[in-house]
Amino acid sequence: MNAPELWTKACEHLKSVLNDDVYSRWIENIKPSSIHENRFILHVDNDFCQTWLENNYQDVIVEALRAAGAPHDFSIRFDIQACDSPNAAASPRESVAAKPDPKQLPAAKRRHKPVSNGNGSPLNSNFTFENFVTGPSNSFAHAAALGVSQSPGRAYNPLFIYGQTGIGKTHLMQAVGHRVLQSPGMSVSYVSTETLLNEYIESLAKQTTMNFRNKYRNTDVLLVDDIQFLAGKERLQEEFFHTFNVLYDARKQIIMTSDLPPRELSGLEPRLVSRFEWGLVTEIESPDFETRLAILRYKQTLTKVGLRDDVLTFIADNIKSNVRSLEGALTRAVSFSSLNPQMPMTLEVLRNLLKDQLNDERQKDLSFDDIQRMVADYFDLRLTDMSSKRRPRSVAAPRQIAMFLCRKLTRSSLPEIANSFGKTHATVIHACKTIQDRIQVEEELRSSVREITRKLGRDPLAFQI
């Protein structure tokens, strides 16, 4: 079976699994390219579509290809090749203002696309406030983002949102962008730090740095994703420092996301860290059970497969790490039900279907007590030393290591970690920053921290230790 035939059959399955809106938005414009050594190459329109499909629909596409006759070890790769179809997703350079109103188009030609704003990368049309499920873990960050969208440049500038991967930071940041773009004449620029670096390097090579500066300084709202990747890039930090100042002085809004709060970011100039804290720093934590269940119920409305509530409850109760993992588990359950309509989705079937993911989740469930005991044993201390007021270096340094590992290896918030040690939020931040800086230059300390991490059953490299 050749690539076009296989893709046609796979699309029939995808249409039965995904609702019409999702299918037309993300699947319809994918073009089959070739099959080489059990890898199916699919062409997409731009890097935004590539990233979104890899993060959100890769599993369901692979399942559809297997249902169409592909072998079990089949894999896929998305390559960028813009097509000339009128349904192609908007290119990063396309201007929103130049687009006709979709309501004026014939129904057959309407398509949901990533929203482009003229500068930077396009915004994901799914990342709106309306699609953001709120709960105790993200309600404060949501309220802050909503406030910024109503008064950009005035309320909370800059807004710095941090938290682990896959919990909604980018969604919330882009929701601000969508809301701001509803106001006539307003402009928004969204860019990842990786893209920012690549564009800066290119501007140096082509001697077009002024164009680079103008691109991100002539905007009403600048959205920068994964700002932690500025670490160690001194020239880009210098450039961003001046861009920040220009925008801030002009009362333009700046929003950044990161995996850590500013004070815990190593390799950043102090003047940048200081500016990142000028406005509001807010954390999105891992969602609690009720929020996870609400997310699953909402996401299920985007499919054509109905799962029983006990199935959704099981997923919500067992997949706790982040929203992306939660959605991945739901995708697998939906795909299985669609491929096996005669087999009821029981909890036993679901456990077997998600067994690898469930094992990964169990490995993530380290407690503060686990970490404190391991550190105390390693340094031949008493467990009570981890929360005592004693300050000799022989106790203080291991205690800082324990705080650092609690931050790295658990999904807990800073206040929760601080409470477990009987310390303040600021003490934990200082400890994490101190150990992060020291392991960069002290080989013996780095080896000790990595050894403790391994004893806890974790791969230190996977946690960037």
pLDDT in tens, 324-334: 889 889 988 98
What is the total residue count of the chain?
Answer: 465
What would the two tokens of residue 102 be? 């979709």
Phi, psi of 318 (to 5 degrees): -115, -20
Cα 428 from Cα 434, distance rounded (Å)? 10
The first and second tokens of residue 450, run together, are 């990595």
Average pLDDT, the chain: 85
pLDDT digits (tens, 9 = 90+) for 209-266: 999 999 999 999 999 999 999 999 999 999 999 999 999 999 999 999 999 899 888 8
Residue 437 clears pLDDT 60, i.e. is over it: yes
Q: What is the pLDDT of residue 458?
A: 81
- Report whether pLDDT(92) > 60: no
289-364: what CATH class? mainly alpha
Ranges of each domain in the chain: 3-80, 120-283, 289-364, 368-455
For residue 104 the two structure tokens come to 């004026």
Considering only CA atoms, which of 415, 403, 168 is closest in space to residue 284?
Answer: 168
Per residue in 109-145, pLDDT tens? 333 444 545 566 788 888 999 999 999 889 999 999 9
Q: Which CATH number fits domain 3-80: 3.40.640.10, 3.40.50.1390, 3.30.300.180, 3.40.50.150?
A: 3.30.300.180
Angstrom distance (rounded) from CA 193 to CA 230: 7
Q: What is the mean pLDDT of residues 260-274?
A: 90
Distance between CA atoms of residues 104 and 136, nearest Å: 40
pLDDT band at 302 (very low <50, low <70, confident <90, very high): confident
Q: Which of 193, 185, 182, 183 is nearest to 216 (CA)?
A: 193
CA distance 256 to 407: 21
pTM for this prediction: 0.63
Class of domain 368-455: mainly alpha
- Cα-based angle 454, 457, 458 (whole degrees, multiple of 5): 70
Predicted local confidence at residue 115, as pLDDT: 52
CATH superfamily to which 120-283 belongs? P-loop containing nucleotide triphosphate hydrolases (3.40.50.300)
